[in-house]
Amino acid sequence: MKAQPIASHFIDGEYVEDTDGTVIESLYPATGEVIARLHAATPAIVERAIAAAKRAQPAWAAMSPTARGRILKRAADIMRERNRELSELETLDTGKPIQETIVADPTSGADSFEFFGGIAAAGLNGSYIPLGQDFAYTKRVPLGVCVGIGAWNYPQQIACWKGAPALICGNAMVFKPSENTPLGALKIAEILIEAGLPKGLYNVIQGDRTTGPLLVNHPDVAKVSLTGSVPTGRKVAAAAAGSLKHVTMELGGKSPLIVFDDADIDSAIGGAMLGNFYSTGQVCSNGTRVFVARGIKETFLSRLKARTENMVIGDPMDEATQIGPMVSFDQRQKVMSYIDKGKAEGATLVTGGGIPNHVTGEGYYVQPTVFADVTDEMTIAREEIFGPVMCVLDFDDEAEVIARANGTEFGLSGGVFTSDLTRAHRVADQLEAGTLWINTYNLCPVEIPFGGSKQSGFGRENSLAALEHYSELKTVYVGMGKVEAPY
């Protein structure tokens, strides 16, 4: 299987190569096979991409929002027409099952282009402020050159979720995908050109943690939006602060999912499985601490175990497969070391906990794993694992579980399953997180704001809220009379 792109980078409307950059090997996680060889951006490539973005941005900002929106909507249509091809590429890039990528990856990127393309005409309006005979008005102006830096779990979605609001506000973007998943963003750049985006407005350059700082520290960059881990977020935010750049931080989590004894138990199990095993557990908002009311614990665990053991692990290109490999060998090692810690610290292994032996070859597979009797102090309950490892914790009452759920530095998401309407809202109100779900989990349509609180980050993606993070208000005060000066 090969997925070699025409070249490593996409700058100023065309593919660009610079073989002086460090080699990035793209491995298919299901087999370990090298499917593409690319090069990290050299400083010259970084300069070229930022210069192209800077050159292209003013004319784009001068177009009407409707005209900009028309191009994004065309890009959405092209993505939908090519959904199969893009989904297969996403599966090669990440190892995620085609069953998922075909419904959740390019399609959610297309949703983003469609949404922001569609709201452009009204969403970017300013306001009129009456001041007696004088008045003022505000207008929403773009920031300039925006940098997007992506994680490896949703490469195409992340490339679109950052690109769409940036572009609709009149900015240009330089996007750097994760070194683990370099392929998808190049296709997004290609499609945008095909949709009519003027060249230079959406550039993709490859690179790793040494390339990112070249972008973040660049004086011509106005904004950085990162999707990544908390430690990377701290570094990027600190570097961006050096020149007071705007920042959006979409970081990690250790989110609570609380199941009360009056919940629809099968829905709660389904929500917990989706919120721990989808994308082989590599989802930032996953509800990895599942607090289950003690009274329903045994029923919950026995049904959960049966359903988990029924999951289909295997070839991600097979439409029946529900669990694919981890993105990389290193990620699998990290997940396995957490599983070892869970066992060593006394959690009860309900199911999984190993490498599936019926999957042959060099793929980075891990069994979907459930631990019960997990306590708040255990490492697996405190640290983000980013793999298919669910921790089930017991609780007795509402006040106790809210305090324990909030006892973490993270604040990305959370969920509650209960049939008590007032309790559902009371609990959601008290959980410290950017996004909460009641009687469902992990649904993130483009219409709703998404982002973290506490150490999980700041800023919001999607929805009208994203516009505020890719533009700023300019206020114009208009004096209508003579200036009365006291001197």
Q: Are 282 and 156 in contact (CB under 8 A)?
A: no
Q: How far apart are CA 114 and CA 107, in angstroms?
A: 10
Q: Are 356 and 125 in contact, with CB atoms under 8 Å apart? A: no
* Beta-strand runs (E) in 333-418: 348-351, 369-372, 389-395, 413-417
**Binding positions for ligand NAD, rule: CB under 6 A:** 149-153, 176, 178-179, 208-209, 212-213, 216, 227-229, 232, 235-236, 250-253, 284, 384, 386, 412, 452, 457
Asked if 41 contacts 9 with a C-beta cutoff of 8 angstroms, the reply is yes
Residue 434 corresponds to which amino acid? G
Quote helix, strand, coil % in the chain, to nearest 5: 40, 20, 40
Which CB, 93 or 179, lies closer to ligand NAD? Answer: 179
d(CA 266, CA 229): 32
Other CB atoms within 10 A of residue 27 CB: 20
Closest CB to ligand NAD among 238 and 478? 238
The CA-based angle 14-16-21, given to 5 degrees, is 155
Q: Which is nearer to ligand NAD, 2 or 234 (CB)?
A: 234
**Shortest Cβ distance from residue 294 to ligand NAD (Å)?**
30
Q: How far is the CB of 246 from ligand NAD (least distance, A)?
A: 15
In the bound complex, what is the minimum distance in angstroms from residue 215's beta carbon to ligand NAD? 7
Q: Closest distance between ligand NAD and the C-beta of residue 166, in Å?
A: 16
- For ligand NAD, the closer of residues 22 and 229 by Cβ is 229
Nearer to ligand NAD, 254 or 297 (CB): 254
Q: Which residues are catalytic?
A: 162, 250, 284, 461
Angle at 208 between CA 43 and CA 182, to 5 degrees: 105
* CB-based contacts of 238, cutoff 8 Å, min separation 6: none
Both tokens of residue 65?
Answer: 């929002």
Query: Minimal distance in Å, beta carbon 330 to ligand NAD?
Result: 9
Nearest to 156, CA basis, from 106, 199, 208: 106
Other Cβ atoms closer than 10 A to 238: 10
Helices in 170-262 by DSSP H: which ranges? 184-194, 212-216, 230-241
Q: Which residue has the tokens 């869970």?
A: 342
- Nearest residue (beta carbon) to ligand NAD: 212
Smallest separation (angstroms) from ligand NAD to the CB of 70: 28
Which of 69, 253 has the CB closer to ligand NAD?
A: 253
- Of the pair 301, 431, the CB lying nearest ligand NAD is at 431
CB of 462 to ligand NAD, least distance (A): 10
Which C-beta is closer to ligand NAD: that of 229 or that of 453? 229
Among all chains, which residue has been given the structure tokens 């909460």?
A: 436
Closest CA to 190 of 9, 1, 2: 9
In angstroms, what is the minimal distance from the CB of 33 to ligand NAD? 21
DSSP count for the chain of H helices, then E strands: 16, 20
Q: Whose CA is closest to 385, among 325, 335, 332, 452?
A: 335
- Of residues 53 and 78, the one with the C-beta less far from ligand NAD: 53
Cα four-point dihedral sign 164, 166, 169, 172? negative
Strands ordered across the beta sheet of 128-131: 128-131, 134-142, 471-478
Shortest distance, position 292 Cβ to ligand NAD, whole Å: 23
Among the listed residues 416, 455, 413, the one whose alpha carbon sits nearest the alpha carbon of residue 255: 413
Map tokens 């665990």 to a residue: 301
- Classify 392 as helix, strand or coil: strand
